[in-house]
Amino acid sequence: AQSVTQLDSHVSVSEGTPVLLRCNYSSSYSPSLFWYVQHPNKGLQLLLKYTSAATLVKGINGFEAEFKKSETSFHLTKPSAHMSDAAEYFCVVSDTDMRFGAGTRLTVKP
Partner 1 sequence: GAVVSQHPSWVICKSGTSVKIECRSLDFQATTMFWYRQFPKQSLMLMATSNEGSKATYEQGVEKDKFLINHASLTLSTLTVTSAHPEDSSFYICSATPPGGPYYEQYFGPGTRLTVT
How many positions of this chain bind partner 1 (CB under 8 A)? Answer: 18
CA 110/CA 61 separation, integer angstroms: 18
> Which of the residues 2 through 31 are near partner 1 (CB under 8 A)?
none
Q: Which residue from 3, 26, 45, 80 is in contact with partner 1, where contact means CB under 8 A? A: 45
Closer residue to partner 1 in complex, CB, 50/63:
50
Stretch in the footprint of partner 1 (CB under 8 A) among 16-24, 44-52, 66-74, 76-84: 44-52
SS3 30: coil
- The answer to whether 25 touches 2, Cβ cutoff 8 Å, is yes
Residue 9's contacts (CB-CB under 8 Å, 6 or more residues apart) are: 102, 103, 104, 105
> Which of the residues 64 through 93 are near partner 1 (CB under 8 A)?
90
According to DSSP, the β-strands at 64-68 and 10-14 are unpaired
Q: Which residue from 13, 25, 35, 36 is in contact with partner 1, where contact means CB under 8 A? A: 36
Site of interaction with partner 1 (CB under 8 A) = 32, 34, 36, 41-45, 49, 51, 90, 94, 97-98, 100-103
